[in-house]
Amino acid sequence: MRISIFNRYIAKSLLTFFAGVVGVLTFVIFMNHFIRVLNMAMTYGTSFGWIVSSLLNILPDVFCLSAPMAFQIAILLTLTNMSEQGELIALRSAGFSFREIVRPLLVCALVLSVILVIMGNWLTPRSYKKFINKREEAYSKITKVTLEPKTFIDLGDWDLYLENLDKVTNTAQLIHLVNKNDSGALSTKVNASSGRIVLGETAIGLELKDGQMQRVSKKDPSAVIAANFDEYTMSISLVKAHNRRLRVGEMTTTKLLRTLRNDPLTPKLANEFRTAISMRNVLALSPLILLFVSCPIGFSLGKRTNKGWGMLFSVVIIFSFYLLMTLGLSLGKKYTWISYPGPWLPVVIGLIAGYYLWKKRLNI
């Protein structure tokens, strides 16, 4: 019973700090994405639903980035708080070993690592792919079209000019269309004395009356093709054709492994796939490594130590961890033989440092 109450107390203290810190870090990182998404929405005239959907698809990636850092800070805040209030000394005097004190922290680290393994390898890539698809959908649309008279309106391949426009009936007078991207002609023009404009989400329709189409050949400028019409209907797409290759971050770990096994890849791309797989799992296991390194530091802090020291040590540990991981990633992408083990550099260094701290500083 005593141990059960003690475990719940430690876990509750850790989770309280973790929830606060992960909330702050997630908000800070999320705001950067929010500003970019909002700016894109304003530029391309996307809907409110597009904004909400894009932001929700970003959240798993933001959480996977902020959770290890938040857990590291929460560990040292928990231990420094207990040290500041004399609880660590009281627990040691009551016969609790360092291993018993660490046990509830270890359980929390294991649970978080399992969550991060699932999210980092499968859920986050799928959500990130949806986000990229949403972004490409916005990019593929022409900037929001506003019909105004006496103004050249950019419609992608076409420029549209209206001399007069009745915005109630959408009828226009003296309509001029110029094709900017006709590879086989010097110029392609459509002129009409009147017509009706129908503006949709993905296309603009024109019902033209009493006009002429004119095309000047690029090979022979003297060859002009012209045709008069009484009525002519045309549609101009507001969506740009766009083909893209899936990014590594959009592919689940299962897909990365299958691609490495079955598809011919350049050495550079294959190394990128391997380092991405390793990095996801290193980040997922980082709570365990950070716990192993942080606990002996937290235990060795004196009763007069305040939470500021816990924050300082957390920043140093986090910075060192990510610096080593970046170094390992760079080496892995450059050299094939180290592409898988390279990103595991902070794990190896963390285990060595943790072992030294537990043995030398706590004599365990």
Nearest residue to 187 via CA among 156, 223, 162: 223
Check residue 334 and give its pLDDT.
94
Nearest residue to 310 via CA among 81, 87, 14, 92: 81
- Name residues whose C-beta falls within 8 Å of residue 101's C-beta, 6 or more positions apart in sequence: 10, 88, 91, 299
Alpha helices in the chain (DSSP H): 2-44, 48-84, 87-93, 98-118, 124-140, 253-262, 267-300, 307-334, 345-356
Nearest residue to 160 via CA among 170, 171, 148: 148
d(CA 183, CA 185): 6
Check residue 362 and give its pLDDT.
62
CB-based burial of residue 230 (10 Å sphere; 0-12 exposed, 13-18 middle, 19+ buried)?
exposed
d(CA 317, CA 296): 13
Q: What does each C-alpha distance from 323 to 277, 295, 317, 326 come to in angstroms? A: 18, 21, 10, 5
d(CA 272, CA 20): 34
Strand order of the β-sheet with 185-199 is 152-155, 158-166, 171-179, 185-199, 203-217, 224-237
| The length of the chain, given as a count of residues | 364
Buried-state track 245-264, b at ≥16 Cβ within 10 A, e below 16 = eeebebbbbeebeebeeeee
Return the SS3 of 199.
Answer: strand
Helix (H) or strand (E) holding 164: strand 158-166
Check residue 302 and give its pLDDT.
59
Query: Does residue 17 contact residue 74 with C-beta atoms inside 8 Å?
Result: yes
Query: Does residue 153 contact residue 180 with C-beta atoms inside 8 Å?
Result: no
- Name residues whose C-beta falls within 8 Å of residue 363's C-beta, 6 or more positions apart in sequence: none
Check residue 179 and give its pLDDT.
87
Mean pLDDT for all residues in the chain: 87
- How crowded is the C-beta side of 234, counted as CA atoms within 13 Å? 17
Q: What is the mean pLDDT of each run of 10 residues along the chain (364 residues)?
A: 75 93 93 88 79 92 94 91 82 82 93 96 95 81 75 83 88 89 80 89 86 84 83 83 80 95 92 96 96 87 63 88 95 94 96 88 61
- Name residues whose C-beta falls within 8 Å of residue 239's C-beta, 6 or more positions apart in sequence: 140, 141, 142, 202, 203
Check residue 125 and give its pLDDT.
95
Q: Are strands 203-217 and 152-155 parallel, antiparallel or unpaired?
A: unpaired
d(CA 295, CA 108): 14
One-character DSSP codes across 15-70: HHHHHHHHHHHHHHHHHHHHHHHHHHHHHHT--HHHHHHHHHHHHHHHHHHHHHHH
So where are the chain's domains? 2-140+246-361, 152-237
Query: Does residue 204 contact residue 153 with C-beta atoms inside 8 Å?
Result: no
| CA angle, 157 then 155 then 237, to 5° | 80
- Name residues whose C-beta falls within 8 Å of residue 281's C-beta, 6 or more positions apart in sequence: 117, 120, 121
Q: Are strands 185-199 and 203-217 parallel, antiparallel or unpaired?
A: antiparallel
